Amino acid sequence: MDKLVIEGGLPLHGDVRIAGSKNATLPLMAAAVIAPGQTVIQNVPRLVDIHTLGKVIAHLGVTVEHDDDKVVMDATATPSDTAPYDLVRKMRASFYMLGALLARLGHAKVSMPGGCAWGPRPVDIHLKGLKALGASVELEGGYVLADSRQMNGGRFVLDFPSVGATVNLLLAVSTLEKETILENVAREPEITNLIRMLNRMGARIEGANTSQLVILGSRDLKPLSFAVIPDRIEAGTYMAAVGRCGGDVMLRGADPEHLTMVLAKAAEAGIKFTVTTEGIRIQRENDLRSVDVETAVYPGFPTDMQAQWIALMTAAAGVSLVTDTIYTDRFTHVAELMRLGAEIKMKGHTAKVYGPTQLTGAPVMSTDLRASASLVIAALAAKGRTDILRVYHLDRGYERLEDKFERIGARIRREQE
Ligand code: EPU
């Protein structure tokens, strides 16, 4: 296993090229399974999670080739209807195969995803939605057995605007030639990206960017060439690193429209940002102010930036309250940040961060992707050496992280544990 070795304490200067979004790519790859023929997805980040979903899809009989920042998929042959436990358990987004296979075949057998490092992550809304729209759904031996051949559309109100449920339902009805209305859907940019692709494939989906979608599918969806939006969470992570360490960095290709709340909070904290045609320039010269955040569905503050925000706030004068309302137990980074000297108290699902603190290096490890990102930010600011174990979490979601940080002046390298 690899670890990252970071000698902290340097400001960051230069350019970072923001990759395509991981969480936007995964639904697009699922959508490519629906249309017979060759689909090319561009601006794909080179990440383990993308390869993991590629393996699930290849197992179904769809050809998947990764070529630099492109994924070329050929779904000419009729895919198998079964996504097995051994593959699905490696990544929750494999559950998107449920919607995709229902759209393509009308039936699917997909393993139920398990929990994750920070607690249970249910899929009840996905299943309730399919049933409400007329599909049959049964659970058997850890698998969801679903059949959508009698599905007749209609209206479904999601109990909560779940990203995953919105993706699965959109995929499932994308070949249904009867109107479906989905209310209280997720409005994340990754959803809008998927809607654009499905529309280009031949579906008629109205309401992108809003909480109500009116969908008229088509049995004749066509393959296409389509580009992924930039990764707002990668951009936010580099922003937090510059904020924590000080410096001046251009986030090349980042889309400010997708980061409205994060940038507003950063500005409140004393981080300067300038939007240019090339991306977002982040500068931090002065002391930081403490700023409270509470995670919420888009366009609120993303839960995927909560851990990084805590690392940032260890530099801010005062007390910051960081509350996660989406994943209330997603705080495994807190104990590790405290090993670096951070002063944080947990109360329910709120972290109280006391600052400013001078962090000092130590060996740390983490249990998930964004927790690892917050440790990297803290380590870059800490005096001395930090070893971050279990780098494979970062490899799931950050493309060439150590190269990108090294290029902007960090002392960071990968070693064998
Ligand atoms: N929820 C339910 N029932 C459901 C589905 C969700 O109760 O059927 C609840 C969840 O327990 C949670 C909330 O709804 O409290 C939000 O879950 P959502 O379904 O929106 O999340 P997801 O689709 O499982 C995606 C991202 C996550 C990100 C969340 C929230 C992907 C592949 N994953 O997960 O990304 O945290 O949305 O924005 O898109 C990450 O990239 O590190 C990551 C975990």
Average pLDDT of the residues in 305-334: 97
Residue where a domain stops, chosen among 173, 204, 227: 227
Q: Is 24 in the pocket of ligand 1 (CB under 6 A)?
A: no
- Which residues are 283's β-sheet partners? 248, 272
The count of domains in the chain is: 2
Average pLDDT of the residues in 254-264: 98
Residues 377, 387: Cα–Cα separation, whole Å:
13
372: its two tokens: 């690892």
In this structure, the answer to whether residues 33 and 133 fall within a common structural domain is yes
Angle at 149 between CA 145 and CA 155, to 5 degrees: 95
Residue where a domain stops, chosen among 227, 259, 282: 227
pLDDT at residue 120 greater than cutoff 90: no
In this structure, the answer to whether residues 99 and 235 fall within a common structural domain is no
In this structure, the answer to whether residues 158 and 302 fall within a common structural domain is no
CATH number at residue 7: 3.65.10.10
In this structure, the answer to whether residues 183 and 307 fall within a common structural domain is no
In this structure, the answer to whether residues 322 and 185 fall within a common structural domain is no
Nearest residue (by CA) to ligand 1, atom 17, is: 162
pLDDT for 417 equals: 86
The answer to whether the Cα torsion of 292, 373, 282, 287 is positive or negative is positive
In this structure, the answer to whether residues 398 and 409 fall within a common structural domain is yes
pLDDT at residue 220 greater than cutoff 90: yes
Which residue shows structure tokens 């500068």? 283
Q: Which atom from ligand 1 is nearest to the alpha carbon of 125?
A: 8
Q: Which of 5, 72, 116, 132 is flagged as catalytic?
A: 116
In this structure, the answer to whether residues 217 and 247 fall within a common structural domain is no
Q: In the predicted model, what is the mean pLDDT of the chain?
A: 96
pLDDT for 117 equals: 67
- Which residues are 111's β-sheet partners? 143
Contact 169, 157 (CB under 8 A): no
CA 93 to ligand 1 center in whole angstroms: 10
In this structure, the answer to whether residues 99 and 34 fall within a common structural domain is yes
Residue where a domain stops, chosen among 227, 257, 278: 227
pLDDT for 1 equals: 87
In this structure, the answer to whether residues 206 and 258 fall within a common structural domain is no
pLDDT at residue 114 greater than cutoff 80: no
pLDDT for 118 equals: 63
The answer to whether the Cα torsion of 363, 368, 371, 373 is positive or negative is positive
In this structure, the answer to whether residues 218 and 238 fall within a common structural domain is no
pLDDT at residue 160 greater than cutoff 90: yes
Band of pLDDT at residue 377, cut at 50, 70 and 90: very high
Q: Is 326 in the pocket of ligand 1 (CB under 6 A)?
A: yes
Nearest residue (by CA) to ligand 1, atom 33, is: 23
In this structure, the answer to whether residues 332 and 185 fall within a common structural domain is no
pLDDT for 115 equals: 65
| Segment 32-78, tens digit of pLDDT | 999 999 999 999 999 999 999 999 999 999 999 999 999 999 999 99
| Segment 343-369, tens digit of pLDDT | 999 999 999 999 999 999 999 998 899
Average pLDDT of the residues in 282-307: 97
Choose one of 121, 128, 193, 305 to mutate for the ligand 1 pocket test, by most ligand atoms within 8 angstroms of C-beta.
121
| Segment 22-31, tens digit of pLDDT | 999 999 999 9
Structure pTM? 0.97
pLDDT for 366 equals: 82
In this structure, the answer to whether residues 300 and 152 fall within a common structural domain is no
Q: Which residues contact 118 (CB under 8 A, 6 or more apart)?
A: 327, 329, 330, 331, 332, 367, 368
pLDDT for 121 equals: 80
Which residue shows structure tokens 């989406």? 326
Q: Is 154 in the pocket of ligand 1 (CB under 6 A)?
A: no
Domain, as residue range, for 216: 22-227
pLDDT for 116 equals: 66
Q: Is 121 in the pocket of ligand 1 (CB under 6 A)?
A: yes
Average pLDDT of the residues in 2-7: 96
CA 33 to ligand 1 center in whole angstroms: 22
Contact 349, 306 (CB under 8 A): no
